[in-house]
Amino acid sequence: MEDCCTDKGNELTQLRERQGHVLYIAFAINAAMFIVEFTAGWISNSTALLGDSLDMFGDSVVYAITLFVLHRGVRARVGAALFKSGFLLFFSVLIIAEAIRNSFIGTVPEAGWMGLIGGVALIANLICLLLLYRHRSDDINMNSTWLCSRNDVIANVSVLVAAGLVMITESLWPDLIVGVGLALLYLHTSMKVAKDAQYQWRSQDKRPVAR
């Protein structure tokens, strides 16, 4: 029995080490892409790029939190998942506000910048998604992190579509529509992560107390 417990402990330690290695890489990629996308979004007046850059910033924070709770208990990981849910909610509201502001200003974003930076961000997020894929079912913390990365890929494709439509129509509305659409996607994921985290929290409460 002791050998079995030791083996399980070693397996868990190895799993956490593999998760940590992946998360450090994903954190570095997202932090770098936040700087690139935010700068490009500001220069090109693109709501979609700004929204995606804020998501990159949020993901960087998410990865940092995930690394912090990696070797901690279930309660800490559930708390981290709830924190991530709050971040997604915050960014949803922020993107909608930015879309409303741009609708009044009426500046058409630069489609070339949108397409170029959106393509680079897509490649970066595909790398993160592939790295996280094998760990998506490890626990609620890694699952919520993988969901965030999945949303990033969807967001990047949307930015590329918006860039093409802006170029064809010479209108700001495709950019604004994609920005609001991303906000709704983040809002949906926020609710799902929060629901899963609450379920895990209640499950812990129902566990019998060891005597």
Query: What are the tokens at 184?
Result: 């709704």
Q: pLDDT, tens digit, for every residue of 170-195? A: 888 888 888 888 778 778 877 877 78
- Inter-CA distances, 104 with 98, 172, 192, Å: 10, 11, 33
Q: pLDDT, tens digit, for every residue of 60-103? A: 877 777 677 666 666 666 777 777 778 778 877 887 887 888 78
List the domain range (segments joined by +) for residue 175: 2-204
Q: Which of 26-40, 85-99, 103-117, 122-136 has the lowest mean pLDDT?
A: 85-99
Average pLDDT of every residue of the chain = 76
pLDDT at 208: 52
**33 contacts: CB under 8 Å, gap ≥ 6:** 53, 56, 120, 121, 124, 125
pLDDT at 2: 40
- pTM value > 0.85: no
Residue 209 lies in a domain: no
pLDDT at 32: 92
- Unique residue bearing structure tokens 């915050």: 90
pLDDT at 120: 93
Q: Which of 10-14, 40-44, 128-132, 145-149 has the lowest mean pLDDT?
A: 10-14
Residue 211 lies in a domain: no
Look at the chain and report how many structural domains it folds into: 1
Confidence at 116, pLDDT banded by 50, 70, 90 = very high
Domain of residue 25, CATH code: 1.20.1510.10
pLDDT at 210: 46
Residue 61 lies in a domain: yes
Residue 210 lies in a domain: no
pLDDT at 122: 92
Residue 53 lies in a domain: yes
Residue ranges of the alpha helices (H) in 45-171?
47-69, 74-105, 111-133, 140-169
Residue 24 lies in a domain: yes
Biggest CA–CA distance in the chain, Å, is: 70
